[in-house]
Structure 1
Amino acid sequence: MYTVFSVFAATADAAAFKPSLCIPARPDHGYFPDGVELSYGDIARQVCALRDQYRASGFGHGHRACLLLENRPDFIVHWLALNGLGVSIVPINPAYRAAEIEYLIAHAEPDLIVTLHDQKELQKALTGAVPVLEVSGDDLGASVTQIPLARRPPPRTCEPGSETEAALLYTSGTTARPKGCILTNEYVVSTGRWYVSHGGEATYHAGAERLYSPLPLFHMAGLTLTPIAMMLTGGCLILPERFNAKLAWRDIVSCRATVLHYLGVIVAALLAQPETPDEKAHALRFSMGVGANPEQRARARERFGIPFVEGWGMTETGRSPFNTVEPRHLETNTIGRSVPGLEMIVLDADGNTLPPGTVGELCVRHSEATPRRGFFSGYLKDPVATEQAWRGGWFHTGDSTWQHADGAIVFVDRLKHLVRRAGENISAAEIEAVLTTSPLVKQAAVVAARDPIRDEEVAAFIVINDGAAASRALAQDIFHFCRKRLAPFKLPAWIAFVGELPLTSTNKIQKHTLLGPDKDPQAHPDMIDLRQEKTNAIRQSN
């Protein structure tokens, strides 16, 4: 039996003076502007003090706490303190608008919300039913003096263990509302352990690695892959506030990073930057991640002098395959192979195994005897969706793949109606639901448009209500309507006004015909480009 806290505590006991967390310097930061490096002992002392305070306020095994703490060190400290008591965390994306936060709170039913001061969108969403703890976010929780008393039933008397819920992460699906994935301590720890187990060009050395992870802590990879990998190996997590292509190499060099975790958008952004001496002066040995195509990986390896090891992952599965076993087929989007503990197969729509070279759906499991071991425990309050995803004893990923004759699996595309923007999964149905509440919109269909930097962008095809005239000004009005209701990264970057949407005989929208196979928005004659407006909205929200 183990927990995230017990894994951290074991490393802290054995290596109290080793570096655990490094924050790059940022003069404009509201926290640690000069940067800071914290040891396992530094963090452990504050974690244990906070844990005692939470316990004294009545929080414990079976409770949930929302964390709206951005990518600050306080997030890690509060998470470990709460986990040590058996309290599950529910990270909140700081870009969320009030309506999105309100839904999350209502669905997750947290017992506490831990937040930075002056979070305006959260304040709009609060009803007073959930206690709120405001923290400074710049002192490892040292300024916490009074934690609100727990209002819900007392915690369970049994000790938390590997099957205890550790986190509830919300992931976009094909429905209008995000699903809450229940993640246990076993899921979190085994995901981190799996991440450092691949070897080859992605070999980790105990006590020696410094992992630069420019990923948000409300994501599966940012929460479970990289932090747990460092806890398990006694390494140091380098945690910037967010990815910044102009500053990334400076951070990597000054923080002495040895490993970089990437998303496709990160590789593309680094390649788009002018050459700098830092990109040759780094100490990186390799980079591993998801979403970079073969051409990007080849260019990045040549320019930056390290391998970029491609993999695949999603919140429901946790553990991720990576392409480290020869032959690696680097000319394709090869993501790895089926191995004990993460069996992968390519199936057709009827659940039949497909021969090599044939595109089908990627399905995964732990093993035939224990298919769900180490995976998510289910979608909160949605057992039907959970069982549908696990039909036939395999988890159906919704991603299309094919297999080489030697077993290597190649990623093709997503089967689900998702827009994969800069590592964010955006639900098309969620945006459509907002669009159709506008008095200007009669019908709407949202699809993924190709984007050279962000992988994909949001494109909306809209049938306007009678009386409205199609124009750029109308597109901007609809954009601003969405801006009040959606996180900026979800906003439409392209809008096209159409007379009608193409329908099947059963009245389903034929989305694949809207942009065509190339997904090129600029090839559509009526497409209105709102990318600059979206960029401005994102900047203003930061």
Structure 2
Amino acid sequence: MYELHFAVPMAGAILCTLNSRLNANMVSVLLEHSQSKILFVDYQLLDIARGALDLLTERAKKKPILVMIMDSDCTSTIDFTSISYEYEKLLAVGHNDFDIVRPHSELDPISINYTSGTTSRPKGVVLSHRSAYLNSIATVLFLQMSLFPVYLWNVPLFHANGWCLAWGVAAQFGTNVCLRKVSQKNIFDNIVQHKVTYMGGAPTVLNMIANSTLSDRKVFNHKVSVLTGGSPPPPQILSMMEENGFSITHMYGLTETCGAGTFCAWRPEWDMLPTEEKSKIKARQGVPHVGMEEIDVKDPSTMESVPADGKTVGEVMFRGNTLMSGYFKDLKATEEAFKDGWFHSGDLAVKHSDGYIEIKDRLKDIIVSGGENISSIEVETVLYSHPAVLEAAVVARPDDLWGQTPCAYLKLKDGFDADVEEIINFCRDRLPHFMAPKTVIFLDMPKTSTGKIQKFVLREKAKALGSISNVPSVSSISNVLSVSNMSYP
């Protein structure tokens, strides 16, 4: 896939890198929507690819050519039926004197990246050669990537082209270390064996590393620079990573911003702050990188910028050349995304006096309880500070009295125990009482292929639970409202 990130554009074609965890039905939908003509598939995913092509045949759709990628651990039992080419053999018949097919315009598309897992309305983000080029260079610059880096891949290439570092690492003459499976042991083993100097990873990956066992952990005598993004990382995890020899750069962006759009530019004077305060600042989303024209936090109804007071919440919006060209075959969604000349991210944030932004929540994740807005991220940050909590996600549970109440889903660390009452009291001691979870559920978190917790799954679970409180009578409501200092349960 790394080779194809160069070969496909150089052949004048368009990349469409698909999520390796999709099922055959979803793959067939995306192949049809993208109008793909060639399908490259790793041999371990061959059954899914064949299932997708069979579904296309049933719908009387033209099937793409199937090219299978072998590996050293392939068995001789592979059925080559329906396979048009084997990857290495296909390369062998290529022409060494082939001229690169350059784009007619730098605004020509280089890739389509799908953001949605729904079968009804897939959203294909179209990125141009210009946006990919500018974002690749910008990412290398703010990560301060030196020449001849050794980069460990934990970020899938189907995720915004590996945050554009597929091209960025090559620009610095880098070595790529690729993992079939992301695990604590694999990460530490490869850092030591290949002297890894840079790596990327979602906050979930950082959490894995920070909470790795002593048997998986390895000691290395050099700094590993880590680029993280995808969701705001808990400050506790950032602090633990720094203690284990990793230097963290926090970025923020979406597939629609070609990967990173902002980063938390670290100021030297912050080095003197206490560890906890440094971690809180590092968790901010920061300032636009050199390739992004403009970023602001605005009131989406008035399009006025919010004051830089660190309190007033608005929506994060972008303008610039590193944004997508639009959603493939979806003019309506494109127009909505770029309403009033700004790209609307759907993320809620505040702007601090120094200009740095800080994400508070997704628009759809904000919890409204008794008329008060509750940031799920703020509650999650407190939950992560509990010594027994490995993973935390907070969503809204419907409530007949308060409208919504916070519902916390937790996974505990191995060998640790905590009960519901302990968790709720822990939060009530550190948060306004209305922000503390009213419901706590322990489970293994549902996740996307990039390691993000699937909050939409958890929201459905919380919705199915129904209301946690009964609707009081009219007289009791009157009694409550007559009390000047209204309290929350």
If the length of structure 2 is used for normalisation, what is the TM-score? 0.65
Cα distance change on mapping 1:415 and 1:460 into 2, 3 Å: closer
Residue 236 in 1 paired to residue 175 in 2? Answer: yes
Alpha-carbon shift at residue 386 of structure 1 (Å) = 0.9
Instruction: Report if the CA contact (8 A) 1:335-1:408 is conserved.
Output: yes
The 1-side partners of 2:341 and 2:46 are apart by 43
Question: Secondary structure at the residue paired with 1:312?
Answer: strand
Bigger shift: residues 171-180 or 319-328: 171-180
1:295 to 202, 223, 236: 236
**1:285 Cα offset (Å):** 3.8
Are residue 273 (structure 1) and residue 212 (structure 2) matched? yes
Aligned to 1:211: 151
**Deviations for 1:466-521, whole angstroms, at most 9, x for unmatched residues?**
xxxxxxxxxxxxxxxxxxxxxxxxxxxxxxxxxxx7799xxxxx9x82xx335347
Superposition map of 1:12-411 within 5 A: 75-117=1-43, 119-126=46-53, 127-128=56-57, 129-138=62-71, 141-144=87-90, 159-172=103-116, 177-198=121-142, 202-206=143-147, 208-220=148-160, 222=162, 224-275=163-214, 279-290=218-229, 291=231, 292-302=233-243, 304-318=244-258, 319-326=260-267, 330-332=279-281, 333-338=283-288, 341-342=291-292, 343-350=294-301, 351-356=303-308, 357=310, 358-366=312-320, 373-411=321-359
Q: 1:401 to 1:77 in 2, by over 3 A?
A: same
Contact 2:125 2:327 in 1 (8 A): yes
Conservation of the 8 A alpha-carbon contact between 1:260 and 1:287: yes
CA RMSD of aligned residues (A): 3.6
Q: In the alignment, residue 325 of structure 2 is paired with which amino acid?
A: S
In 2, the alpha carbon distance for the partners of 1:528 and 1:262 equals 27
How much does 1:379 deviate? Answer: 0.4
Shift of 1:146: 9.9
Within 2, Cα distance between the matches of 1:533 and 1:78? 30
**Unaligned 5+ residue runs, structure 2?**
73-85, 94-100, 271-277, 367-382, 411-419, 425-436, 452-489
Q: Which amino acid aligns with 1:204?
A: M
Change (3 A) 1:197 1:182: same
CA distance in 2, matches of 1:113, 1:96: 14
Q: Which runs of 4+ in 1 moved over 4 A?
A: 157-161, 173-176, 450-457, 501-504, 521-530, 532-535
1:519 maps to what in 2?
A: 408
**Alpha-carbon distance in 2 for matches of 1:534, 1:195:** 26
| Contact 1:174/1:416, CA 8 A, preserved across alignment | no
The alpha carbon displacement at 1:121 in A equals 2.5
Q: Which residue of 2 aligns with 1:72?
A: none
Following the alignment from structure 1 to structure 2, what is the Cα–Cα distance between the partners of residues 251 and 158? 36
Once residues 276 and 359 of structure 1 are traced to their aligned partners in structure 2, the CA distance between those partners, rounded to angstroms, is 44
1:58 corresponding residue in structure 2:
none
Query: Which residue does 2:444 correspond to in 1?
Result: 531
Counterparts in 2 of 1:96 and 1:407: CA distance versus 1, 3 Å: same
Work out whether residues 38 and 66 of structure 2, in 8 Å CA contact, stay in contact via their aligned partners in 1: yes
Report how far residue 144 of structure 1 moved. Answer: 2.2
Shift of 1:183: 1.2
Residue pair 1:77, 1:141 contacting (<8 A) in 2 also: no
Cα distance in 2 for partners of 1:533, 1:400 equals: 23
Shift of 1:163: 2.0
Aligned amino acid, residue 531 of structure 1: D
1:159 Cα deviation (Å)? 4.7
Q: Is the 8 A contact 1:226 1:237 kept in 2?
A: no
Structure number with greater CO (CA < 8 Å, separation at least 6) is 1
SS at match of 1:354: coil
Using a 3 Å threshold, how does the CA distance of structure 1 residues 276 and 301 change in structure 2: closer, same or farther? farther
2: CA distance, partners of 1:277 / 1:531: 21
Structure 1: which 5+ runs fail to align? 1-74, 148-156, 367-372, 419-449, 462-500, 505-509
Q: Distance in 2 between matches of 1:90 and 1:287?
A: 26
Give the CA deviation at 1:411.
1.6
Mapped partners of 1:177, 1:248: distance in 2: 36
**Alpha carbons of 1:272 and 1:113: their partners in 2 closer, same or farther (altered >3 Å)?**
same
Q: Is the 8 A contact 2:406 2:439 kept in 1?
A: no
TM-score, normalised to structure 1, is 0.59
| CA positional deviation for 1:260 | 2.0
| Counterpart residue identity of residue 133, structure 1 | L
Q: How has the CA–CA distance of structure 1 residues 454 and 187 changed in structure 2, closer, same or farther, with 3 Å as cutoff?
A: farther
Once the two structures are TM-superposed, the CA of residue 177 in structure 1 deviates from its matched residue by 3.3
Check the 8 A contact 2:41/2:67 in 1, yes or no. Answer: yes
Q: Which amino acid in 2 is paired with 1:354? A: V
Aligned counterparts of 1:279 and 1:122: Cα–Cα separation in 2: 38
Q: 2 CA distance for matches of 1:317 and 1:85?
A: 25
2:222 is paired with a residue whose SS is coil
SS at match of 2:110: strand
